[in-house]
Structure 1
C-alpha cells in the first residue's frame, strides 16, 4: 500500500480568514458564525477564524468563535511576524480548547528585496523570534504554525528557506505551511519543492500547503502535495480567496476520496455548504463549477446523454466523477436538449416530466425538437413537452375525427362514427362492449379493418402541469398486413381519449409509410 493511503488528510479551512478578506463586504460575527457552523457540520479538523489584528470587528468574531468551538477542532488565527499581531491572536483564541497561532513572513528573494526591503538573515531572525514569542504566549495548550509566504517563488533560494525552517521548528513551530501564494508555474514544480522540505524536516513536523488558484491548478497542486507528504491541506469553501481564490475544499476532498484516501469529512454536507456560502457571500456558484455547479451534472451531447441514461443510478456513471449523493446533491444528472442532443435526451426528459413514451416515439420527435433547438439553443422542458403533446396526441394526417356519439345502450352499445379520409366523409355505425370496440367495428364497416392488440389507460394527475385530469390512452393496433403501431390519445372523456388514440394511430401509420419508414409486424 502507498504510504499516502495510510495517512489521513487534515483539512484546515481558511474561508473565514482568506475567503473573508477577499469579500467586497467582509462578514460580521453573526455571518461568520453561520459559516463556522457549516464547517463544524462538514467535519473540518482546523479552522482559521480570522485575522484578529485587522479590525475590531474581526477580533470580536475570532474571540466569539473560539469561545463556542467544539473541543476537537483546532482554532487558529493569523498574525504577521509582529508582536502586536501575535498578542491579538493569543487574546482572541485563548478560550479555544485547541488554540493555534499562525504567523508568517515571506522568504522569497523577490519579496525580501522589494516588499520587505530586508536582508535574508534579518528576515530569518524575524521569523524565528516571531515563532518563539508565539510559543511563549500559547504555551503547552496550543500550537504554533509558521508560513513561508510566497514559498512557490523560493526555488532559487530553497536551501536558505530549508535552513530557516529548521531553525523555526527548533524555535517551537510544530506546523510548517508552504503557500503557493501566487500560482505562477505548473503543479509538479511546486510539489517537488514540497517534497524536499518534507524529506529534511523532523518527521513529527506537520507539513501544510496553502495554494492560490491564479492559473486554475490549486486543486491539482494541493492533491499532489498530499501524496509527497503534506498532511495539512489548507482549503476554502467554494474556493473563496484573494484574486482567483484558494484551493476548493470540495474538489480536494472528492479527489482524495476517489483515490481511496480516508477523507475525515461528512461529504454529504458539501452541497448544502456550497449553497449556504454562495448565499452568505453574494457570490453565485459558477454554472460550470466542478461538483457543485448547475452544469456539473448536465449532459447535452447525444453520446454523453446516452451513456448517462444507461448508467443512471449506478455508483459509477459514464460521464460523472461521483454519484451526486456523495456530496448531498439530490438532483439527478440533467439532460439538456440542444442541437447536439438526440433520442435519449427526449426519452429521459419526457419520462422525468411524468409522461409515457417509447424510444421509438422519442426518435420521431427528434427532428421537430432539434429544429427548435437550432434556432433557440437549449430548450426548456416545457417546450419539449409541448412538442410531445402536439405530435404524439394530435397526429396530423388524412384521417379526421368529426364526431363519435353513442346511439343506444343495447346488449352491444351502438355508436355513430363520423370521420373523413382524404377529404371524403364517412358516416357509419359500430357495435361493441364499449366505445373502443364500437369505434373499431365502425371503422371496419367503412372498410378500415384494424385489430386491437393491447390497451392501457391512466389518468394524468395534477402533478403534471397543463393537462391535469385528462385520461390518457395507449393502444397497440394491428392492421390487415400485420403491421403494428403504438398510438396515444388524451381527453377529459375516457371514450374520446380512446377514439382519438385510434385516429392518431391511423394517421401515424399513413405518415410513416409515406416517409418510407419500415413498420414492425406482429
Structure 2
C-alpha cells in the first residue's frame, strides 16, 4: 500500500474501544458530536463502532458514515461472515469505508478462547480478509493478543492476510503485556520477516495495563509502524488505551528525532479532551499528561520562579499548543515571592508601592491555614481592614458612622496619611457616600467611582462582605477590594485599596 513514509496515521477508537468503559456509553447523537470534533481535530481514521454488537452500535456507524466525510470510517468485526455482512451494511453510506476484522494470534487465545489450532486460525484469518475485500477495498486485520504471540507464527499470519488483501495489519498488545523494547522488536521482526509487508501499513494498538501504552506505541513507530490506534484521554477497556494526545505531542516534541508528522490540530486537544470527559462521564485525572488540570500547573517556589523567568525552564510544551490559555502558578505555602508578585501584578497591584516582604509573611501565614490561595484570598489579604501592604499606604485608624431618619448620614474618620493621623467629618446621601467624602477631604482630591459591587462570601447575617469598586483617577482605572463584616468598613477598605495604587 502506497503512503507517505513520514506521515503517521492517527486511528481514533474513542467511539469503539473507548466506549467499552463501564458507564461511558454514548447515544448516537453524542457519537456524532464527538465524531465531528474528531474530524475537526484531523484524525485519519475513526473506528465508529462494532455493528453486530447491538442495533444501537449499528445505527451509530450508519449515521456517522453519513455525517463525517473526511476521515476513513471503520467498523469492527470478528472473523466471521455474519459480522462482516453487518459491518458492510452499516458502512454503505461511508465515503471512505474500512472493515476491521481479525482473530486471536497467541497460543493462549488459540487454545483457550477458540479451542482450535494454529493452522485452522490461520485459515480463518485469511478467509475473513478475502470475504471483507468483496465489500470494501480498505481492509484492516487485527491479530488479537499479538503482544503474547509467537513471532514466527505471527509473521506467517500477517503474510497470509496481506496476501488475502489486507491493506493495514494491526499488531495489538491487547493485554498491555509487552515492555517497549519487546514490542518494538516484535514490529521490527515483522518488518524484516514478512515478505509482502511493504504492501500494507503496520498499525500499533496498545493497552495500558502496565502503564506502557504510549511508550509501546512509540517503540512500535520507531521500528516501522505507521498507524497508531488511540483514544482521547486514553480511555478504554480496563486500564485504557494509548492516549491520542500523549502520542501526538510526543511526536511533535521529538520531531527532530523521530521525523513523523500527523494531521492533528493540536490546539483542539484540550477542548476535545474536556468534551469527551464530560459526555462519557470519565473525569480526567489531575496529573494526566497533556490535558490534566495539573499538566501546566506549578506550585513549588523553585519551579514557579523558573517558569516566570523563562517558561521552558520547566515546560517542554507550550500550553497554547494544546489549547490551554496559559500555565498556572498555584499559590501555596511552598510558593516564593516571585509567584506572589506575579499574581499581585496580575490583579492590578504595582509592586513598587507594596511592602512585599511584609505582604509575603502574611501570605505564608494564610497559606499554611488555607493550603491553596485563590484570587479572593489575595484580594482579602490586600484589602485587610487592620493592615496595610503598601509602602507609606493610607490606612484607617478609626471610622464612626451616624445614621438616622431625621438627618443625612455622617461619617467621622481618622486616617494615617503621609506619616500623620488626620481626621475628617462628612455627610452624604448614604453611609458609604459620607465615608468616601470624608476620605476625599483628607487626601484633597475627588475620584469618580464607576463601579460598586457588594458580595456575600458565605451567607448569613454575620458574614464577611466583599466590596469591589472601580475608581477613576487622571483617566486611569483602578480596582479596589475590601473585606469586613461591616459593609461600610468594607467599602472604605476597597476605596483605600484603589487609592493606594496611585496616591
Query: For 1:194-225, what per-residue CA distance to the aligned partner results, in whole angstroms no more than 9, with x for missing partners?
Result: 11112233323100000111122211211222
2:205 aligns to what? 210
Q: In 2, distance between residues paired with 1:182 and 1:357?
A: 56
Aligned residue runs from structure 1 range 49-68, under 5 A: 49-68=48-67
2:29 aligns to what? 30
TM-score by length of 2: 0.78
Q: In 1, distance between residues paired with 2:110 and 2:273?
A: 37
Deviating more after overlay: 49-58 vs 335-344: 335-344
2:158 matches 1:160:
no
Deviating more after overlay: 184-193 vs 202-211: 184-193
Query: For 1:247-281, what per-residue CA distance to the aligned partner results, in whole angstroms no more than 9, with x for missing partners?
Result: 11111111111122322111121111111111110
Secondary structure, counterpart of 2:16 in structure 1: helix
Q: Aligned-pair RMSD on alpha carbons?
A: 3.9
Q: In 1, distance between residues paired with 2:202 and 2:175?
A: 19
Deviation at 1:323, TM superposition (A): 1.3
Q: In 1, distance between residues paired with 2:470 and 2:303?
A: 34
Secondary structure, counterpart of 1:363 in structure 2: helix
Q: In 1, distance between residues paired with 2:314 and 2:32?
A: 37
Q: In 1, distance between residues paired with 2:24 and 2:416?
A: 71
Q: Do the aligned partners of 1:401 and 1:500 also contact (CA within 8 Å) in 2? A: no
2:80 aligns to what? 82
Number of aligned positions between the proteins: 443
Consecutive unaligned residues of structure 2, counting only runs of 5 or more, are 400-412, 425-437, 456-465, 474-479, 483-489
Aligned residue runs from structure 1 range 262-281, under 5 A: 262-281=261-280
Secondary structure, counterpart of 1:122 in structure 2: helix
2:315 aligns to what? 320
Q: Do the aligned partners of 2:209 and 2:239 also contact (CA within 8 Å) in 1? A: yes
Query: For 1:360-411, what per-residue CA distance to the aligned partner results, in whole angstroms no more than 9, with x for missing partners?
Result: 73333222222232233222221122112224358999x97569xxxxxxxx
Q: Do the aligned partners of 2:79 and 2:102 also contact (CA within 8 Å) in 1? A: yes
1:180 to 173, 179, 182: 173
Query: For 1:123-181, what per-residue CA distance to the aligned partner results, in whole angstroms no more than 9, with x for missing partners?
Result: 1111111111111232xxx2111111111112xx2101101211111011111001111
Q: Do the aligned partners of 2:214 and 2:242 also contact (CA within 8 Å) in 1? A: yes
Q: Do the aligned partners of 2:423 and 2:442 also contact (CA within 8 Å) in 1? A: no
Deviation at 1:245, TM superposition (A): 0.9
Q: Do the aligned partners of 2:382 and 2:497 also contact (CA within 8 Å) in 1? A: no
Q: Do the aligned partners of 2:142 and 2:170 also contact (CA within 8 Å) in 1? A: yes
Q: In 1, distance between residues paired with 2:207 and 2:141?
A: 17
Taking structure 1 as reference, are residues 195 and 392 closer, same or farther at Cα in structure 2, changes over 3 Å only?
farther
Deviation at 1:286, TM superposition (A): 1.8
2:460 aligns to what? none
1:48 aligns to what? 47
Q: In 1, distance between residues paired with 2:499 and 2:151?
A: 81
Aligned residue runs from structure 1 range 396-475, under 5 A: 401=397, 466-469=466-469, 471=471
1:110 aligns to what? 108
2:235 aligns to what? 240
Q: In 2, distance between residues paired with 1:359 and 1:62?
A: 63
Secondary structure, counterpart of 2:73 in structure 1: strand
